[in-house]
């Protein structure tokens, strides 16, 4: 019983933590640390909520979730037959279903993303050209402003003709440094599970806010990396030029406005706040590691 209760408490704590983190602003002063915390909250929430259901269901086995599940699979018989065990049986079904849904959602999203990227890569081969002025960057003949990274084993940075004419050389350098940071840190892998979860639970506000927070933090992390190599002011003006040029994306009914996100990034670049102290960061990193380890351990211990 204790195992299930602790796991349920952990899942609740993660949900509350996520809700709190969506409105926290210290995250902007340490985006990479905050991303790590988000990831550990996500993983732990998934494992703790499924684990709580399963731990309760398998409690009569007294062997913990992992070994309880194994025992169940080997005997193929749910070894409890008392009347009130309908609750436990429901809990078992719910836990397994939730686990299956989470795994399926992640796999489907991963496959869809890979397919979309493969198609995009194929089209780029046929459409994009190399431009001597910007070596290593693919250029698409399109008058609007676009700059993005197509992630993969061989990531490609792509810009449009519109970007070339919109930005000064310094600004272009800044944008390319930003995109290079996405490539280097594989930010797409950070975003994937959050985007997948949002796709699966489009009505969930916490999930939506979480996904938007993480994608803003990823941009901020790339900005931070880029400013080491280029003028932060040029990166800021490039952001503003991008924000006011081209076709506005359709906006979700309730989401954080993209304009506010651009301004938040610009303000950080122009007037950087004091970075989060190192010992605070260390504390958060340690907390994230402990949190991530806690759910698998609770799956193992006999409850």
Partner 1 sequence: MKGLGELERSIMDILWAENAPLTAREVGRMIEDRDLAPTTVMTVLDRLSRKGFLNRTRDGRAWRYQPAASRDAYVAELMLEALDLTGDRDAALTRFAQAVSGSEAEILRKALTELEEE
Q: Are 226 and 178 in contact (CB under 8 A)?
A: yes
Among the listed ranges 32-40, 82-90, 92-100, 107-115, the one in contact with partner 1 (CB under 8 A) is 107-115
Find the binding residues for partner 1 in span 171-230 (CB under 8 A).
175, 178-179, 182, 187-188, 191-192, 194-196, 198-199, 218-219, 222
Interface with partner 1 (CB under 8 A), residue from 101, 111, 127, 133: 127
Residue 157 main-chain phi, psi, to 5 deg? -95, 130
Cα dihedral 67, 73, 76, 80 in deg (nearest 10): 30
Residues with Cβ within 8 Å of 154's Cβ and at least 6 positions away in sequence, in order, are none
Nearer to partner 1, 52 or 214 (CB): 214
CB nearer to partner 1: give 52 or 216.
216
Q: What is the largest CA-CA distance in the chain?
A: 76
Binding of residue 298 to partner 1 (CB under 8 A):
no
| β-strand partners of 147 | 159
Nearest alpha-carbon partner for 232 in 242, 241, 222, 224: 224
Q: At what angle do helices 169-185 and 205-227 cross, to 10 degrees?
A: 120
Tell me which of 22, 91, 160, 213 binds partner 1, using CB under 8 A: 160
Q: Where are the alpha helices (DSSP H) in the chain?
A: 2-23, 31-57, 64-75, 85-127, 161-166, 169-185, 187-200, 205-227, 232-244, 258-270, 278-300
- Per CB under 8 A, 54 contacts partner 1: no
109 binds partner 1 (CB under 8 A): yes
Confirm or reject binding of residue 281 to partner 1 (CB under 8 A). Answer: no
Q: Does 153 bind partner 1 (CB under 8 A)?
A: no
Asked if 141 interacts with partner 1 (CB under 8 A), we say: yes
- Residue 236 touches partner 1, criterion: CB under 8 A: yes
- Structural element, H or E, at residue 130: strand 129-131
Residue positions counted in the chain: 303
Give the nearer residue to partner 1 in terms of CB position, either 258 or 287: 258
124 binds partner 1 (CB under 8 A): yes
| Least distance to partner 1, CB of residue 136, Å | 15
Whole-number CA gyration radius for the chain: 23
Cβ–Cβ under 8 Å, residues 29 and 274: yes
Binding to partner 1 by residue 296, rule CB under 8 A? no
Write down the least CB distance from residue 100 to partner 1, Å: 22
- The answer to whether 289 and 43 are in contact (CB under 8 A) is no
- Select 136 or 141, whichever has its Cβ closest to partner 1: 141
- Asked if 28 is part of the footprint of partner 1 (rule: CB under 8 A), the reply reads no
When asked if residue 287 is in the footprint of partner 1 (CB under 8 A), the reply is no
Taking the C-alpha atoms of residue 231 and residue 240, their distance in angstroms, rounded to an integer, is: 15
Question: Would you count residue 39 as binding partner 1 (CB under 8 A)?
Answer: no
Instruction: Give the footprint of partner 1 on this chain (CB under 8 A).
Output: 109, 112-113, 116-117, 120, 122-127, 140-142, 144-151, 158, 160, 175, 178-179, 182, 187-188, 191-192, 194-196, 198-199, 218-219, 222, 233, 236-250, 257-263, 265-266, 270
């Amino acid at each position: 019983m204790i195992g299930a209760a602790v796991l349920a408490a952990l899942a609740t704590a993660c949900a509350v933590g996520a809700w709190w983190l969506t409105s926290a602003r210290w995250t902007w002063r340490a985006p990479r640390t905050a991303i790590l915390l988000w990831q550990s909250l996500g993983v732990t929430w998934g494992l703790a909520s499924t684990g709580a259901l399963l731990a309760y269901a398998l409690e009569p086995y007294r062997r913990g979730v992992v070994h309880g599940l194994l025992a169940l699979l080997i005997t193929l018989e749910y070894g409890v037959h008392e009347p009130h065990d309908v609750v436990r049986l429901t809990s078992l079904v719910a836990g397994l279903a939730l686990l299956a849904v989470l795994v399926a959602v992640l796999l489907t999203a991963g496959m869809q993303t890979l397919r979309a990227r493969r198609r995009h890569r194929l089209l780029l081969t046929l459409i994009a050209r190399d431009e001597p002025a910007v070596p290593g960057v693919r250029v698409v003949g399109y008058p609007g402003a676009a700059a993005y990274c197509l992630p993969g084993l061989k990531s490609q940075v792509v810009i449009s003709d519109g970007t070339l004419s919109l930005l000064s050389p310094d600004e272009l350098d800044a944008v390319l440094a930003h995109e290079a940071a996405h490539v280097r840190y594989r930010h797409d892998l950070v975003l994937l599970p959050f985007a997948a979860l949002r796709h699966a639970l489009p009505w969930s506000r916490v999930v939506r806010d979480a996904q938007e927070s993480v994608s803003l933090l990823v941009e901020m992390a790339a900005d931070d990396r880029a400013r080491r190599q280029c003028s932060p002011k040029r990166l800021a003006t490039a952001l503003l030029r991008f924000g006011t040029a081209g076709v506005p994306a359709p906006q979700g009914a309730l989401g954080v406005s993209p304009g506010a996100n651009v301004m938040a990034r610009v303000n950080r670049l122009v007037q950087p706040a004091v970075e989060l102290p190192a010992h605070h960061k260390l504390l958060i990193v340690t907390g994230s590691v402990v949190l991530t380890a806690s759910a698998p351990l609770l799956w193992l211990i006999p409850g």
